[in-house]
Chain A
């Protein structure tokens, strides 16, 4: 195996593009090293992106926030402006693993590992986040939900890597939330999860919303029907019931030791409703 730590995005792309054997990007390593040591992969080349300065920064931009691909999740929780604007995204990122894992893991890695139960991904999908992808043919920007295409599989082509995650600017009266079900109080993988992001008008009526679900399909789901149930409402019981029904209807989960199909489908509705209430309160709704 060759280890290399380029200092520019351009150099990283060139290394990945010309690699002969299997090449992997190393950010936090909390997935990659586990897979290497478990013998699941044998990389010929590992490209460590943590020496690329631009990838280590969280920046407030004219259009929102830019989170570099090598920023550890712990740093997101230390960024007061980000926590204020996107509390749901930050709480999701800070649910991943332990403090030790949060000191290394990144939301870009969580996205590119393409796990259906990834904690930060539903929150990013609900937030309308975009992935900035750099590759041999230049830059492209895609909604984050288009990056994972199945368990462990992404839409990234050879030589491509995610440079940053872009979160949009916050409208007034907006809020987001992420909830997951696990059978313990911490350090576990989501059995079901839900992200909700919404905005209100001055009267507290939901004007737009995005709802996402995790661990109930091969990829994290964006559920437009669930969002539609909230729009035009003040989160009354009827709207919440519709939200729950739409969330359950979108589920296509597996049956495994962590949760049955029936359980996941039911709990998806419960979590979507609870997350919606938290997001609504954060947006200033009463």
Chain B
């Protein structure tokens, strides 16, 4: 029997119906239409499905849709302010920190969560902070540079 879930996604009140064993990842993509969240491994290893729930970074493939009841969820779709990209998004473009792009929404959310806790991370802290996100294209270096540059801009430095 489908469950009715009432939640907040990127600041908007959203209701969706989902099966009890349906993941939040599937609910976001197939019920709500937020396809920025990607399925990579489906077992919490690759981070492509990263979202924030009540501010905390999680893999949406390891969350049930039903758990979203009353929570606040943030996805990549909520990062830009209208036509103005989030500094992380802008710096990923400028540094060419993506090729195929499948991992990018997860990296952006993970990097956003990292900078919220630590506005001035070292390279090592960035690499550890993003260790749960796999990219098979870039070799990570451009991603790290983009995050460093975005962090600098966001600090107003």
Q: Taking the nearest CB of chain B, how far is it from the CB of A98, in angstroms?
A: 2
Measured between beta carbons, the chain A residues less than 8 angstroms from B108 are none
B119 proximal to A (CB < 8 A): no
Is there a chain B Cβ closer than 8 Å to A104's Cβ? yes
Main secondary structure of the interface of B (DSSP, over half): mixed
Within 8 A of A (CB), among B82-116: 110, 113-114
Say yes or no: is B34 at the interface (Cβ < 8 Å to chain A): no
Taking A26-B64, A74-B56, A100-B110 as contacts, is the C-beta distance between A186 and B43 under 8 angstroms? Answer: no
A37 and B43 within 8 A (CB): yes
Which residues of A are found within 8 Å of B63, using beta-carbon distances? 29, 33, 104
| Partner-binding segment picked from B9-17, B125-133, B146-154 | B125-133
Smallest CB separation, B63 vs chain A (Å): 6
> In chain B, what residue has the closest Cβ to A33?
B62
Q: In the assembly, what is the distance between CA of A5 and CA of B67, in Å?
A: 8
Given A99-B113, A99-B114, A103-B56, check contact A46 B20 (CB 8 Å). Answer: yes
* A48 proximity list for chain B (CB < 8 A): 64, 66-67
Instruction: Say whether A202 faces chain B, with CB atoms less than 8 Å apart.
Output: no
Instruction: Judge if A34 is at the interface, Cβ distance under 8 Å.
Output: yes
Q: Tell me the smallest distance from the CB of B31 to a CB of chain A, in Å.
A: 15
Residue ID in chain A nearest B132 by CB atoms: A98
Q: Is B4 an interface residue (CB 8 A)?
A: no
Contact A1 B21 (CB under 8 A): yes
Interchain pairs with CB closer than 8 A, number: 85
Band of interface residues on B: 20 to 34
- A256 CB-CB contact with B under 8 Å: no
> Are A100 and B43 closer than 8 Å at their CB atoms?
no
User: Which residues of chain B are within 8 angstroms of A103 by Cβ–Cβ distance?
Assistant: 53, 56-58
**Contact status B57-A99, CB under 8 Å:** yes
Q: Tell me the complex Cα distance, A26–B23, Å.
A: 13
- Interface bracket on A: 20 to 34
The answer to whether B64 touches A187 (Cβ under 8 A) is no
The residue that A100 contacts in the complex, of B20, B59, B64, B69, with Cβ under 8 A, is B59
Pair A101/B59 contact, Cβ less than 8 Å: yes
B3 within 8 A of A: yes
Q: Which residues of A contact B21 (CB under 8 A)?
A: 1, 3, 36, 43, 46
Q: Which chain B residue has the least Cβ–Cβ distance from A104?
A: B58
A48-107: which have CB < 8 Å to B?
A: 48, 50, 72, 74, 97-101, 103-104
Nearest residue in A to B71 (C-beta to C-beta)?
A: A50
Interface string of B17-59 (1 = CB under 8 A from A): 0001101000000000000000000111101001001001111
Give the distance in Å from the alpha carbon of A7 to the alpha carbon of B120 in the complex.
39
B128 contact from A1, A3, A5, A186, Cβ within 8 A: A186
Q: State whether the Cβ of A113 lies closer than 8 Å to any Cβ in chain B.
A: no
> Is B44's CB under 8 angstroms from A97's CB?
yes
Docked CA distance A43–B61 (Å): 17
**For A36, what are the chain B residues with a Cβ–Cβ distance below 8 Å?**
21
Most buried by B among A37, A74, A97, A98: A98
* Known contacts A30-B44, A74-B56, A104-B59, then 19 further A-B pairs from the complex at CB < 8 Å, ordered by chain A residue: A1-B21, A3-B64, A5-B66, A26-B64, A26-B67, A28-B62, A29-B64, A30-B62, A33-B62, A33-B64, A98-B47, A98-B133, A99-B113, A99-B131, A100-B57, A100-B59, A100-B110, A104-B56, A186-B128
Can you show 13 pairs from A to B with CB atoms below 8 A apart? A3-B21, A26-B67, A33-B64, A36-B21, A37-B43, A46-B21, A48-B67, A50-B67, A74-B56, A98-B44, A99-B114, A104-B63, A187-B45
The 8 closest A-B pairs by CB, nearest first: A98-B132, A3-B20, A103-B56, A100-B132, A100-B59, A103-B58, A1-B21, A33-B62
